[in-house]
Structures are given as C-alpha cells and as structure tokens.
Amino acid sequence: MKIFFLRYDIVSDGNRLTAILSFIGRFVVYLCFNSTHMHKEVIDFDEDIKVIDESKQGDILFYDSNQPGFKKFYIESYGCQMNFSDSEIVASILAEEGYVPTKNMEDASLILVNTCSIREKAEETVRNRLVVYNKAKQDRPGTLIGVLGCMAERLKSKLMDEEKLVDLVVGPDAYRDIPGLLSRAEEGERSINVLLSREETYADISPLRLDSNGIVAFISIMRGCDNMCSFCVVPFTRGRERSRDWHSIVAEADDLFQRGFRDITLLGQNVDSYHWTCPETGNVVDFAQLLEKVALVNPLLRIRFSTSHPKDITDEVLYTMNKYHNICKYIHLPVQSGSNRILQLMNRTYTREWYMERIDTIYRIMPDCAVSSDIIAGFCTESDDDHRDTLEIMKYANFNMSYMFFYSERPGTLAARKFQDDIPLPLKKDRLAEIVELQRQISIKHNQSDIGKVFEVLIEGDSKKSSDYFKGRNSQNKMVVFPKSEVYCPGAYVNIRITNATGATLLGEIIQ
Ligand code: SAM
Ligand code: SF4
C-alpha cells in the first residue's frame, strides 16, 4: 500500500467572489496495490489505481482571502461526486451571505461537513471528524457546526440528540434554507431542515467551481433516485428522482466552455432515466437528446456522464455517443453482481443475460468504448457459485476499471428489512480481494493492449509525480502521462502514442 499527497490550484470566477480561488486537496490516501511485475519506471507514473474511490474523501474547498468583512466557513465533503457538486452549490449560497471558504478550520466561524451514508464506514468517518470539529468549537466558543447531506437526511433530529455540539442539520434538498437556519443558529437555536422536495434541482444556482483544475467540471442534471435497489440508502436520503430543465444544463455547459473548461461530466444517480417535460408544450427531452444538445455546445468540449443503469441505457444513447466525437467513449455501468439470484434479491431489475446483451451492444456500436463497473461482494445469501458468476461477468464485460465494495447493511433499506446479512465479514473480504485481484489483472491486460495505439488526450495539468510530465485523459477515461512539450498547455488536445502501461496509467509520447 502506498500513500500519496495531492495538490490542485485553480483560477475561477465566482458570483460575488471575483478574486482568485484556489483549492488544495487535504492529505488524500489512495489504496494502491504494488504491481510487482511492472517496470519500476512505469509504477512511478501510476496516477490513479483505485480499489475504493477514497481519493477525494474529506477534500476541503477554500477561498484564500483576508478581506475584512468576510465571515469564513470551512467545508469537508465525503461520498460521491454529487456530494462534491452539492458543496459547490452550498458555497455559492454562502457566498451570497458574505461567507468565504477557508482551508483552516481554526479560522472558520462556520464548520460544515457534507456527509455520505452509503456504507457504514462512511458514517464512521464523519463521526470521527465531528470529534475534531467539536474540539475546535470548544477552543473557540461561538463557532457553528453544520452537518449536511445524506447522513443529515438519514438521521434527522437523532443526529442532534447524539451529537450535542451540532448546530445545523441540513438535508440535500434544503440548502436554500441555510441562510435562515444560520441566523437562528447564531441566536443560539439549534436548527434543522431535512425536508425532501419533488422539484428542487438548484437549476438557477451557479456553483462555485472550487474543486477544479479549470479544465474539468461536473454538472448535476438530476437529483434523487426512484430505483429501490435493496442494498441502497440513496432513495431514502436524496428523495424522488427529478430532472433539471435542459436549458439551464446547456447554459451551464456553455458558460463553462467560455471560461476555459474542456471536460464536463453530467451527473445523476441514473442519468439514463433523465426525463424533462416542458411545462408549456408537454414536449419531453430524454437523455439521448440531452446528450446531443450538450455535445453541440462546442466540438472542443468533451462530454462524459455518470452513472448509467443497465436497465435504462438505450441504443439511442449509444448511437448518440457514436455520432459525436466529443462525447467520450466511456460508460460507467455498474453490474453489482453477476448472479441472477443475487441481482433479483438486489432488486436491480435486470438479469446477467440482459447485462451481457447491453455490453455486446456497446462494443458493437462503439468497439473502442471502455466500460467500468461497481461491484458488491458478499450480499445477503451470496454463495460461492454466485461469487463465481460475478468473476465470470467481469471477464465477459472486460471492465477497464471497477469500484469494488463489500456489502454493508444500511438501516431502513429493503435488504436490511427483508434479508439477513449472513455472509461473515472475513468471507466478504476474501471475495472482495478475489474481485480486486481479477480486476487488477483485467485492467493491466486492457491497458497493455493500448500500447502502440494513438489517443487524443486532453491535457489536465502536471503529473502528480513529476512536473516534467503532463497528465490527461483519453476519451476512454484512462489517465495518460507523457513528457511535457513547451508548445502545449493544460486545456490543449494532443495526440499521444502509448509506449507503456500499468493497471492504472498509460505512458506515452506526443506525436505531431
Ligand atoms: N446510482 C448508481 C448505480 O445505480 O449504480 C450508484 C450509486 S451508489 C452511490 C455507488 C455504489 O455504492 C453502488 O453502485 C454500489 O456498488 C455501492 N453501494 C451502495 N450501497 C451499498 C451497500 N449497502 N454496501 C456496499 N456497497 C454499496
Ligand atoms: Fe442506489 Fe440503485 Fe438508485 Fe443507484 S440506482 S442510487 S444503487 S437505488
């Protein structure tokens, strides 16, 4: 296992904050596996081997300002990319109230944590952080502490009972109420709003792009989830699915492009069920149509999206991807399990055969497309045969990458109510280790088959390991590292011939 440290600096404009914004990733721990049979030279350029997507957990957004009159807030974010995007919406709402973000908890009069409930460990991490924030509050009485996001929604007022020093509890659909909740908290009243909404999409709020290198950005296109996967807490913490008006999505993409951004990811728990109905005409825009509208913003703007659900991804989406060069040839299509029995217990509403057909169709329409997955090991009643089915489907789908987890029972979910969490933890971990090892082998093979190929790469910045090298991604979302050339700078597209590869990174050189 290795430990790496990350640093990003960015320049961006904000609503009332028009100075230079910068962001430094807190110490970030990557769980990385040593690839003992790789050349050392290649290992040194591994940019991103992820076992569990822990790379951004606990990142801090901040604004480096000592301007008088500004109150300072400190925010840490946990969980999925949607949560990180939400923190940028919160930052924008707070900016309107005269708050600026700081990276130093000690400077802040408001400490916020945007939380995740997806697995027990995510909640434990937040509880541990609350101990640290409480210490800061004891040192500086008057400091306010707020818990935002999924854990706030799941635990509601219980969180206030359990965590005596928490002043604000705000669910994911109540961020517009933060100013009101803050004024009550400033008067000594502990305040809470965890109301879920059927309409809220924050469409009119321009997020402060804090977590960015100025090239890559995320746009939320929908909120909530109507699928009831039996293991998942998201439908309970983020409410009903609703899609954002496509006009505001295209306007945000256009604005980002004008400001120099070149790679945007459209975000939703299930983007393929994006469905916006025009209130005046009743006309519907679906995800394939939305993709096309965003792709047409500018051919130099790359479009990605996440997450796709195997039951909903349509051929229209695949044909639209194929039609536009700037829609990246990469699909995150979580399979969760390869066993029909387990898929049914998970309420995923597709079979392994359905999933394999979707994979066949993706590769038929776009032979160069990369597919990644989420996989859960040790779901309730999972047998050795079920586990083998998962290993088999991983090989069939030839995932270039996966996020892999062992099952963590979440209170209130269908699985927690209906099934026994009966796979012992050591067995869950053994199965997960086998899945991780298989994925590592598939990823290495996948990347080695790229040696000799030429990819168009968007330069995102310096490689983490050496400022003599640039890093960037190809359309397939693979990280590529290559020696710098003075002719190019971040935001430029370059053609790279791949000369070497690890499971996580391609190494190459610029070709003219
Ligand atoms: N909406 C996406 C989908 O349907 O694939 C994923 C959303 S969830 C935030 C991300 C991943 O966390 C899931 O795909 C699943 O693999 C994992 N996950 C969710 N609940 C889990 C649980 N109770 N235990 C372990 N992993 C879980
Ligand atoms: Fe959770 Fe399933 Fe919705 Fe994804 S689709 S957020 S796994 S309920």
Question: Is the Cβ atom of 369 under 6 angstroms away from ligand 1?
Answer: no
Half-sphere exposure of 295 (CA within 13 A, CB side): 19
Q: Which protein residue's CA is at the shortest distance from atom 5 of ligand 2?
A: 227
Tokens representing residue 147 in the block = 């818990």
Predicted confidence band of residue 256 (pLDDT cuts 50, 70, 90): very high
Question: Is the Cβ atom of 307 under 6 angstroms away from ligand 1?
Answer: yes
* Alpha helices, H only, 22-119: 40-43, 81-96
In this structure, the strands spanning 370-377 and 330-332 are parallel
Secondary structure class of 388 (helix, strand, coil): helix
Cβ contact 238:226 at 8 Å = no
User: In testing the pocket of ligand 2, which one of 270, 408, 413 has its CB within 8 Å of the most ligand atoms?
Assistant: 270
d(CA 130, CA 445): 43
Cβ contact 370:400 at 8 Å = yes
Cβ contact 469:457 at 8 Å = no
**How many residues appear in the chain?**
512
Q: Which protein residue's CA is at the shortest distance from atom 4 of ligand 2?
A: 269
Secondary structure class of 361 (helix, strand, coil): helix
H or E segment to which residue 50 belongs: none
Q: Mean pLDDT across the stretch 1-13?
A: 28
Cβ contact 442:399 at 8 Å = yes
CA of 377 to the centre of ligand 1 (A): 11
Annotate 300-335 with DSSP letters as a single string.
Answer: TSEEEEE---TTT--HHHHHHHHH-TTB-SEEE---
Secondary structure class of 358 (helix, strand, coil): helix
Protein residues with CB under 6 Å of any ligand 2 atom: 225, 227, 229, 232, 234-235, 269-270, 309
Predicted confidence band of residue 210 (pLDDT cuts 50, 70, 90): confident
Question: Is the Cβ atom of 408 under 6 angstroms away from ligand 1?
Answer: yes
Q: pLDDT per residue over 144-164, tens digit each?
A: 999 999 999 999 999 988 988
Residue 44 vs residue 382, higher pLDDT: 382
Using only C-alpha atoms, the chain has a radius of gyration, in whole angstroms, of 22
- From the number of C-beta atoms within 10 Å of its C-beta (0-12, 13-18, 19+), residue 76 rates as buried
pLDDT at 323 over 70: yes
User: In testing the pocket of ligand 2, which one of 82, 227, 309 has its CB within 8 Å of the most ligand atoms?
Assistant: 227
User: In testing the pocket of ligand 1, which one of 77, 86, 118, 241 has its CB within 8 Å of the most ligand atoms?
Assistant: 118
Q: Mean pLDDT across the stretch 422-437?
A: 98
Cβ contact 149:86 at 8 Å = yes
User: In testing the pocket of ligand 1, which one of 57, 374, 439 has its CB within 8 Å of the most ligand atoms?
Assistant: 374
Atom of ligand 1 nearest to the CA of 231: 23
CA of 216 to the centre of ligand 1 (A): 24
Average pLDDT, the chain: 88
Q: pLDDT per residue over 335-351, tens digit each?
A: 999 999 999 999 999 99
Predicted confidence band of residue 482 (pLDDT cuts 50, 70, 90): very high
Question: Is the Cβ atom of 478 under 6 angstroms away from ligand 1?
Answer: no
In this structure, the strands spanning 110-115 and 71-77 are parallel
Q: pLDDT per residue over 267-314, tens digit each?
A: 999 999 999 999 999 999 999 999 999 999 999 999 999 999 999 999
Q: Mean pLDDT across the stretch 79-103?
A: 93
CA of 321 to the centre of ligand 2 (A): 23
CA of 36 to the centre of ligand 1 (A): 30
Question: Is the Cβ atom of 376 under 6 angstroms away from ligand 1?
Answer: yes
pLDDT of the residue at 62: 52
H or E segment to which residue 510 belongs: strand 505-511
Q: pLDDT per residue over 214-247, tens digit each?
A: 999 999 999 999 999 999 999 999 999 999 999 9
Predicted confidence band of residue 259 (pLDDT cuts 50, 70, 90): very high
Q: 0.85 exceeded by the pTM? A: yes
Tokens representing residue 351 in the block = 């079979």
pLDDT at 24 over 60: no
- Written as one letter, the residue type at 137 is K
User: In testing the pocket of ligand 2, which one of 269, 336, 413 has its CB within 8 Å of the most ligand atoms?
Assistant: 269
Secondary structure class of 170 (helix, strand, coil): strand
The owner of tokens 């004008």 is: 258
Q: Mean pLDDT across the stretch 405-428?
A: 97
Q: Which protein residue's CA is at the shortest distance from atom 7 of ligand 1?
A: 269
Nearest to 80 by CA among 116, 119, 42: 116
Atom of ligand 1 nearest to the CA of 80: 9
H or E segment to which residue 125 belongs: helix 120-139
Q: Mean pLDDT across the stretch 182-203?
A: 94
pLDDT of the residue at 277: 96
pLDDT of the residue at 308: 97
Atom of ligand 2 nearest to the CA of 348: 2
pLDDT of the residue at 61: 55
d(CA 243, CA 156): 25
Question: Is the Cβ atom of 114 under 6 angstroms away from ligand 1?
Answer: no
d(CA 502, CA 500): 7
Nearest to 504 by CA among 52, 53, 48: 48
Atom of ligand 2 nearest to the CA of 269: 6
pLDDT of the residue at 70: 80
Q: pLDDT per residue over 26-75, tens digit each?
A: 222 222 222 323 333 333 445 543 333 455 666 665 545 555 568 999 99
Atom of ligand 1 nearest to the CA of 233: 20
Q: pLDDT per residue over 403-414, tens digit each?
A: 999 999 999 999
Atom of ligand 1 nearest to the CA of 79: 9
d(CA 414, CA 344): 12
Reading phi first (left if > 0) and then psi (alpha if -120 to 50, else beta), residue 260 is in left
d(CA 153, CA 169): 8
Backbone angles phi, psi at 113, to 5 degrees: -130, 125
pLDDT of the residue at 2: 31
Nearest to 80 by CA among 49, 110, 119, 34: 119
- Written as one letter, the residue type at 428 is K
